[in-house]
Amino acid sequence: MPVQNARQILTQALQRLGYALLLPVSILPLAALLYRLGQPDVLDLAVLSLTGRALFSQMPLIYAVAIAFGLSRQGEGTQALAGAVNFLLLSSALGTLAPGLHSDMICGLLAGLTTAIVYPWLKRHPMPHWLRLINGDFTSLLASALTCLLLAFPLALLWPLLEQGITLLASELLTTPFGAFCYGVLNRLLIPLGLHQVLGSLIGLGESNLQALASAQPLHEGYVAGLYPIIMFGLPGACFAIWLHRQRMQRLPQGGLLLTLALTSALVGITEPIEFLFAFTAPWLFLAHALLTGLSLATCSALGIKVGSYFSAGLLDLVLSYHAGEHSFWLIPVGILFFVAYTLLFYQLLERTPLSLPSKPIAPEHPRLASVAPSDPQMLAIQYLKVLGGMDNLQAMSVCLTRLSLRVRDISLVDQSRLLGLGCLSWIQLNDHQLVLVLGPNASLIEGQIRMLAERQSVPLGLKPNQESAGQSGW
């Protein structure tokens, strides 16, 4: 196999894993809110805090189910059930062979991955004649369970060393200014590939992360504090710089759009809509963003600021994590400095780097404002289908928080000039068949409506836009 093809297959596999990890990550805000609201200084309801803590303590099981389900061909429930069963088998076997290990999280990841690999492989390959009577889901479930049991033996030997390495990395190297800088830069650079969730999950496999989950404490408090100044202040500063630049260039300022993106980042920590404005069309801006993120993490590490994060470093997360942090107040003045730095640096870089926002003069753009996107979700989905060339042109589709990844038969049938009028924040054409739309909070809603329309018309719509065939499966 050529090296380039192998690299592409590996990247696609890791991207799918990153998307699968979004489900357990999306549960963390609910768990954090329940736990915090149940505390004595808020509502003083033990049932809420116990419920939130229970969700945190069961995150390894949730990871196993989410990975097995997210990597399944068509969202198969039996494969998700197999992931849960295999996690229980693997964790119990490993606990018997090597008691005292902090291995639940790695068991969850391995059980989900093993199920996602073994389960569909057996369903695609014919079984021997003497096993045909029990062929089907039972055989796949049994084989994946046996594979997980076999994994317990090498894992019992290797995991103590691996855990020591991960713990050393998280508690010693990443807590230094240089280590925090490297983590911050890499974390942001992996966002366009959808691999930052994989990085965060790998770093969080050690003992400290499991203890934090069990006690419902914010994760990675030693080095994640530096994300708060970037997400709450830096990226809104980038939006302000874009607005100032467009005003000076006599272009449509897009103030409402940019304000929405800034508030989404600052309040709830969803940064993809802003980052995808310049991740592909203005790489110098994105590189500057990654370097500034690393600088923020290094600064907070040098100042001894330790504030963890339950899900994403926005204002809501800061309110929930503030009481458990150290020197939490200093995030505000540091954040103001990064707001100024982002505004000045981005304003200068925008003189040389284009964006995918419309760049016509203000006067010709005003008629476009009369075209308002439908408020009804189904009508909005129908409008998107028309812009994408109709249902027959759509082959596969997947959603990732704020992004909608699409595979179309003929990219020339897609009217990209009308995407902005429908509320699309940004978009990028990856190749002759793949398109990524940044839709913000509407992404899941539009994806669900389009799938419902596809089912009504009996149109097969795949889940893997990065594969040549909509119905093709595989890991």
Domain co-membership, 122 together with 195:
no
Amino acid 475: pLDDT: 42
Query: Is residue 264 predicted with pLDDT exceeding 80?
Result: yes
Domain count for the chain, please give it.
3
For residues 145 and 138, give the distance between their C-alpha atoms in angstroms, rounded to a whole number.
Answer: 10
- Give domain status of residue 309, yes or no: yes
Domain co-membership, 112 together with 142:
yes
- Give domain status of residue 372, yes or no: no
Helices marked H in 311-412: 315-321, 331-349, 362-369, 377-387
The 3-state DSSP class for residue 447 equals helix
Dihedral angle, C-alpha 127, 130, 134, 137, nearest 10 °: -10
Domain co-membership, 198 together with 273:
yes
Residue pLDDT, tens place only, 88-119: 999 999 888 888 777 788 888 889 888 888 87
Domain co-membership, 141 together with 190:
no
Residue 35 identity: Y
Provide mean pLDDT across the span 275-291.
84
Domain co-membership, 110 together with 207:
no
- Give domain status of residue 363, yes or no: no
Amino acid 76: pLDDT: 65
Worst-scoring range by mean pLDDT, 78-82, 113-117, 130-134, 408-412? 130-134
Element spanning 450, H or E: helix 443-456
Instruction: Tell me which residue of 266, 293, 284, 254 sits closest to 426, measured CA to CA.
Output: 254
Higher pLDDT, 18 or 461: 461
Domain co-membership, 43 together with 181:
no
Instruction: Tell me which residue of 153, 154, 160 sits closest to 206, measured CA to CA.
Output: 160
Q: Give the pair of three-digit tokens for residue 147.
A: 């594979």
Domain co-membership, 241 together with 347:
yes
- Any idea which residues carry the catalytic annotation? 400
Domain co-membership, 154 together with 248:
no
Query: Is residue 6 predicted with pLDDT exceeding 90?
Result: no
For residues 402 and 441, give the distance between their C-alpha atoms in angstroms, rounded to a whole number.
Answer: 6
Which DSSP category does 373 fall into?
P
Q: Which domain holds residue 106?
A: 1-166
Amino acid 313: pLDDT: 86
For residues 261 and 259, give the distance between their C-alpha atoms in angstroms, rounded to a whole number.
Answer: 5
Residue 228 identity: Y
pTM of the model: 0.71
Of the pLDDT bands very low, low, confident and very high (cuts 50, 70, 90), residue 470 is very low
Instruction: Tell me which residue of 442, 419, 423, 431 sits closest to 465, measured CA to CA.
Output: 431
Higher pLDDT, 8 or 460: 460
Domain co-membership, 161 together with 181:
no
Domain co-membership, 127 together with 181:
no
Strand partners, 311: none
* Backbone dihedral angles phi then psi of residue 298, each to the nearest 5 degrees: -65, -40
Residue pLDDT, tens place only, 289-312: 999 999 999 999 999 998 888 878
